[in-house]
Structure 1
Amino acid sequence: MVIKAIVADDQAILRTAFSNLLNTQDDIEVVGEAEDGAQAVQLATRYRPDVALLDIRMPHKNGIEAAREIVSASKGATKALMLTTFSLDEYVYAALEAGASGFLLKDATFPELLQAVRVVAAGEALLAPSVTKRLIAEFGRRGARPQAGVHEVEGLTGREVDVLVLIGQGLSNADIAARLCISDHTVKTHINRLFAKMGLTGRAQAVILAYELGLVVAGAARTDSPQPARGGG
């Protein structure tokens, strides 16, 4: 399957460089370039790409606003990958709340760029260590909520909460399946139902929700991490 992507950055040199590098791959095709957020939204509507690489700071409509519109309009089908620098980490929380699936630093290497696009296209979240630290600090600044019991989230089944906890801990679908002794297909089913019930558009938003509900606590390991349920999924 070929991953369709758009690249939005008001710096023409960077925009062209990212596009040219991605187009060297057989499994990635850049279907459009935008110099601002408004153009990015138009391109996403026209081409329905799998991934939208969006610079955070752009004229007319910034990357966060563009990400929110693109992810919402596509119902999560288009994943937003934010282009950022260390100095812009203060926007991390807002971008994740807008539905961004991850962050790519502008000084990333070619292999890191390719990995980021493929990981996000596959529906996983991608957060650099520096970004994760900023996110955890933001949770601390806002104040931690009382920790919820593993089976005490209104509207979710116990197994869906288990899956949410493990997503919050950074586990992939394969890791979750192994931890809970269920199939990859069952994990995907639980995730789809979880996202639909909680109005989530991506894995990164699920991470935020897990922290906000107190299911995952920054800097502290859970002592009641989900265990395999008898009888499977």
Structure 2
Amino acid sequence: MAIRLALVNDYEVVVRGLSSMLRNYADDFEVVELNANTEVSEPVDIALFDVFAQSSGDGEDVHDLLANPIVRHVVVYAWNVTPAMARRAMDHGVSGYVSKTLPAHELVEALHAVHAGGKVVLGSSSKRSAVGGDWPGREEGLTAREAEVIALITQGLSNSDIALHSSLSINSVKSYIRSAYRKIGVTSRTNAVLWGVEHGFHPDRARIEGPPSVESSRGAAR
């Protein structure tokens, strides 16, 4: 029986990209919901929480998922997977902490292990880029990390707040800001916010109906 899965993030493009990443595994998963900043409302085996422009893997959003009685397991899909971060999340009840730099088949294996009752922590090199998924600004040439920083700037966060949210050093945050500014052609924070508003960097607020990429793959396989 397919694992019932909710994909959770505040950005439609992110959850759609995650759904697309799993398109070749339609027999493994039934994607019940793609949630843009809304509560999971149908029973699911696993809620996969993508940390793009969100609080850390043991933040309020994750606690809300853990408190939801119709969510059996929570898996955090994060950039940085350190023993300390994973331990904190696991202590709160998270069942899996998985790096976003891993290929799709390793993410799938981790989700199966969690569904079977296991606890999974899978890290990878911090120098590797994302291998799947999607993010706002990708078509403008922004990397996933640069896009995340621009999203947090658009939300009004300071550099120190961005460092806390994204588990980056302040110097790394400044480096991503410089490279992102060059790519989008701005020179100030105010202009970066205006650019972000114009290019879809405000969080989406409505639940997304249906996972077309996974469903279409399932239909194509029949």
TM superposition score category, shorter chain reference: 0.3 to 0.5
TM-score, normalising length: structure 2: 0.47
Larger radius of gyration: 1
Q: Comparing both structures, which one devotes a greater share of its residues to helix?
A: 1
Q: Give me the TM-score of the superposition, normalised by structure 1.
A: 0.45
